[in-house]
Chain A
């Protein structure tokens, strides 16, 4: 008999993650792709790779989607549950670290803190209008210094002297870094300073007023960075736990939620062969009212299948033809 597995998809701004878990919530497959601004293509390729991998040995019993592209992914795959990333992250963490009290999550464009008490989310916060102190900022600085992001953390650990970098704003941090660099500070020290600045900014902004108690779990793509982990440990004065699947926790949470959602029912999943379907998006600006909503239509093999982006809901009815643009 084929093994029943559950699929979790997290379409984020920087990475698209696909996770497959078994009935006992063990991770069987996890894939981490860079979204590169093209979620449809990346997701399709990911599903293609998944199809090759699981062949005929497993059957997908349920699918959950999360991340900022969760609705798009839901439309493409037919998900059983579509959940925001905050809940998905909390679910995954509390499954693998049952007594977790604080979750620090830093992703590409988002960073969040989730406070749990007695396995229940009691409070959370997410960065608002500013993306300073998220993964994309580190990415950018790594590129500027010509260092692969993967080495960032190890370099930070080699730092000997403390260098203080302004962390309030990514733009200011960058100019501060350049100044320090021109004064001759070593690259390791500057990188470490940057890690500490990011952590300071995170704790002052998102962590402001939150009761951060151990056990603390640190997840999201940035958790790969040992420098940040160390900086958190220094700032919070407690051990920080980075779970094994730290970079796919959102997808993992979605998979767990899917398993719960489906239970013994049949999944709504369209099947892995959707990887062969041609998906296209075409947008237009609606001219019916001054809101001029940017409406997006998604086409499945050239047939309009769904539309969103309008405030009034006029275009949700796909019987109406899109205006020629």
Chain B
């Protein structure tokens, strides 16, 4: 019988899905991914997680609960970092424990430690990951090589021609597990599209470009997520064809308290691109979220109408004669 490996559709799944799925399939396991996030998954996760955890972690536990009785193994890697001297939120380093001590009667965990902060050698980690399924080392290595190709293909498929200098576009920033989880982000990308804006995420930008910009930052890049967001932000500053930036953060995120703040300051100091920080948490009422989104779009539209109208004296944009007071819609 094939061994069933469950992968929760949460957190770094959104970054590494093609790699993980392809790898476990090729070493001979059957991969089961949990359903897309929904209310039941979140509710269950909330019950089983410590109150202070951020909502993505609560959601992760919800996905674990979904898979718990359906699989032989749960893949919950212990990711310490994937770049030299760049670290990740401590919750990822202790993710197997976060899950283990929240939920009882779990299947066996594949909790391989992935630590590229000191050396870039993945071999031991890969062999460990595969050893739960097969003893054939060659098969494991070749599965990994194939998976890596799939992953890179997926990455480059996201790059293509999204960015357009004419189009009306908004950059959406945030951790991948917020940006690509439609339930968590209340379908923000679809909503913005319905207003006629296309959405660009940091993943749509070329990695080399992002890294190049990020490296020009004089400070130390301590957090992994900071690299991508900072690089994108600096890219935005030099390539001024974005109408706005929306940063979506989950309530209580320690990393975002630094990252979002730095991005906002940089943008405000060096550009006049509108920026908005949206905080999400457990509330399911979308009204507040939509209000902010609508107001942000109004602001962009308002600016556009007036763009060609700015008087050199900086006042009296409107004329009472035309009965246009203040705003023009």
Q: Which of A's residues lie within 8 Å of B, judged by CB?
A: 25, 68, 83-87, 90-91, 94-95, 98-99, 118-126, 128-129, 209, 256-257, 260-261, 289-293, 311
Contact = CB atoms under 8 A, between A and B. Distances in A.
Interface string B307-321: 000110011011000
Interface in B276-326: 276, 278-279, 281, 283, 287-288, 290-292, 294-296, 298-299, 302-303, 306, 310-311, 314-315, 317-318, 325-326
Given A85-B291, A118-B306, A118-B315, A292 B40 contact: yes
A122 B299 CA distance: 7
A25 B325 contact: yes
A290 B35 contact: yes
20 contacts: A84-B292, A85-B291, A85-B295, A86-B291, A87-B295, A90-B327, A91-B327, A95-B325, A95-B327, A98-B326, A118-B310, A119-B306, A119-B318, A120-B317, A121-B303, A126-B292, A257-B329, A290-B38, A290-B40, A293-B39
A122 B40 contact: no
Contact of B298 (A68, A84, A289, A311): A84
Interface residues on B, range: 35 or more
B326 A91 contact: yes
A291 B38 contact: yes
A321 B210 CA distance: 52
Given A25-B325, A122-B274, A129 B41 contact: no
A249 to B, nearest CB: 13
Interface stretch (B120-128, B148-156, B193-201, B264-272): B264-272
A209 B279 CA distance: 17
A311 B38 CA distance: 11
Contacts of A87: 294-295, 298-299, 302
Nearest to A253: B327
Interface string B176-216: 00000001000100000000000000000000000000000
A260 B324 CA distance: 9
Interface in B21-73: 35, 38-41
A98 B316 CA distance: 9
Contacts of B291: 68, 84-86, 126
B225 interface: no
Contacts of B294: 83-84, 86-87
Contact of B39 (A122, A124, A291): A291
B83 interface: no
Given A119-B327, A121-B298, A129-B281, 4 more contacts: A94-B326, A94-B327, A125-B276, A126-B295
A85 B274 CA distance: 19
B326 A129 contact: no
B132 interface: no
Closest 5 CB pairs of A and B: A86-B295, A94-B326, A290-B40, A128-B279, A290-B38
B251 interface: yes
A123 B274 contact: yes
A115 B272 CA distance: 13
Nearest to A23: B323
A156 to B, nearest CB: 29
A68 B287 contact: yes
Contact of B283 (A85, A120, A129, A261): A129
Nearest to A82: B294
A128 B40 contact: no
B324 to A, nearest CB: 8
Given A129-B283, A290-B35, A291-B39, A124 B326 contact: no
B287 A121 contact: no
Given A290-B35, A291-B38, A291-B39, A260 B272 contact: no
A121 B275 CA distance: 12
B302 A121 contact: yes
A257 B83 CA distance: 52
Most chain B beta-carbon neighbours within 10 Å: one of A85, A91, A125, A291: A291
A106 to B, nearest CB: 16
B251 A129 contact: yes
B327 A86 contact: no
A61 to B, nearest CB: 14
Contact of A129 (B279, B314, B329): B279
Nearest to A117: B314
B313 to A, nearest CB: 10
A129 B291 CA distance: 14
A118 B274 contact: no
Nearest to B249: A128
Contacts of B35: 290
Nearest to A128: B279
A86 B268 contact: no
Most chain B beta-carbon neighbours within 10 Å: one of A85, A120, A123: A120
Nearest to B317: A119
Nearest to A98: B326
